Amino acid sequence: MKAKVVTSLNEYGIQVKKRFLRLMPAYFLFAGVVFFAKWGAQGVMHVDNPVHGLPDLIRILLYPMQSISAFLWYIYVLFLFCTVSLALMSLTRGRILPLVVFGTILLFIQGVSFLGMDQFCKYFLFFSLGGLAARYWQGYGVLLDWLWFPTSMAFMLMLLTSSYRGDGWILTALLSLPALHGLCRQRIPVRGILLYLGLMSFPIYLMNTLSIGLVKAVLLKFMSWDGMNFLLFAPVLTMAGLGIPILVKRYLIRRVGWLDRVTS
């Protein structure tokens, strides 16, 4: 984990401000886009989770998972991860293991939806484990060469047998870490494509739900997505969710400096 340990409240405030300016403008910008896009479109086409007025703006600020832009929750919670982990690492002189212990305890606490605390409690352990893997990547990489195949098979088995339901999601999530980290080390034929999609993951994350929603609304004007029609909807919506954000980022957003920074 690259967090710099701070030694004073003033320095902590400066670091928190940097993380806020790095993450939250994208959250507020695209939440606003969703609000006004739905508000303008819901009278003329199908809109999932339509706007009902001022309460929706309040939920964007205070209840990210219950808002009309719930798909953006991770940015909101990631900011909380960064601020809390910075404080804990500073208190423990740069140690990450206490964060892992803290995250494990949080798994068994029923978080409230206010300020995304439910998602914070649910996922802080995995954020901490990611930091642990990054700090000790060289040694972890050696382990991955041994663990990647069996953990990948176990991960796939959990998915195929629906064992991820209930509390099984915890084991499934833990298995996914070495499975996906190990995959990144493999020289597979589509490695270049996956690397490019990884580099574009933030703009894809920010815009894929908007893109899918727009294309879905247009298609529903002409046909239902029930039955066999879903075989058309599925690939079209998948390509829209990947392709439109990439095109918007490359040919529109990159022309506006501040917007390019916010979405990078």
141-176 pLDDT, tens digit per residue, is 899 988 899 999 999 999 999 998 988 999 999 999
Q: 22 and 114 share a domain?
A: yes
Question: What DSSP string describes 185-249?
Answer: TS--TTHHHHHHHHHTHHHHHHHHHHHHHHHHHHHHTT---SGGGHHHHHHHHHHHHHHHHHHHH
Residue that wins the pLDDT comparison between 188 and 103: 103
CA distance 201 to 191: 15
Is 115 in contact with 143 (CB distance < 8 Å)?
Answer: no
Q: 35 and 163 share a domain?
A: no
17-51 pLDDT, tens digit per residue, is 999 999 999 999 999 888 888 887 777 767 777 78
Mean pLDDT across 82-95: 91
What pLDDT is recorded for position 190? 80
What pLDDT is recorded for position 251? 92
With respect to residue 191, please indicate whether it lies within any of the assigned structural domains. Answer: no
Decide: helix, strand or coil at residue 78.
Answer: helix
Least confident of 68-77, 120-129, 219-228: 219-228
Q: Show Cβ contacts of residue 102 under 8 Å, excluding neighbours closer than 6 positions.
A: 88, 124, 128
What pLDDT is recorded for position 93? 87
What value, to the nearest 5°, has the Cα angle with vertex 117 and ends 112 and 10? Answer: 135
Q: 131 and 144 share a domain?
A: no
What would the two tokens of residue 125 be? 């352990």
With respect to residue 84, please indicate whether it lies within any of the assigned structural domains. Answer: yes
Q: 36 and 163 share a domain?
A: no
Q: Is the pLDDT of residue 1 over 70?
A: no
Q: 4 and 40 share a domain?
A: yes
For the chain, give the mean pLDDT. 89
Q: 125 and 145 share a domain?
A: no
Among candidate residues 172, 178, 119, 168, the one with its CA nearest the CA of residue 145: 178
Q: 81 and 11 share a domain?
A: yes
Q: 22 and 116 share a domain?
A: yes
Is 90 in contact with 9 (CB distance < 8 Å)?
Answer: no
Counted domains in the chain: 3
Q: 5 and 28 share a domain?
A: yes
With respect to residue 192, please indicate whether it lies within any of the assigned structural domains. Answer: no
With respect to residue 193, please indicate whether it lies within any of the assigned structural domains. Answer: no
User: pTM (2 decimals)?
Assistant: 0.86
With respect to residue 213, please indicate whether it lies within any of the assigned structural domains. Answer: yes
CA distance 87 to 41: 43
Is 65 in contact with 111 (CB distance < 8 Å)?
Answer: no
With respect to residue 60, please indicate whether it lies within any of the assigned structural domains. Answer: yes
With respect to residue 180, please indicate whether it lies within any of the assigned structural domains. Answer: yes
Of 186, 213, 245, which residue sits at a domain end? Answer: 186
57-76 pLDDT, tens digit per residue, is 899 999 999 888 889 999 99
Q: 131 and 12 share a domain?
A: yes
Decide: helix, strand or coil at residue 65.
Answer: helix
What pLDDT is recorded for position 228? 79
Of 118, 135, 152, which residue sits at a domain end? Answer: 135
Q: Which amino acid is at 210?
A: L
Q: Is the pLDDT of residue 2 over 70?
A: no
Q: 117 and 147 share a domain?
A: no
Q: 127 and 238 share a domain?
A: no
With respect to residue 92, please indicate whether it lies within any of the assigned structural domains. Answer: yes
Structural domain boundaries, residue 181? 138-186
Of 186, 215, 245, which residue sits at a domain end? Answer: 186
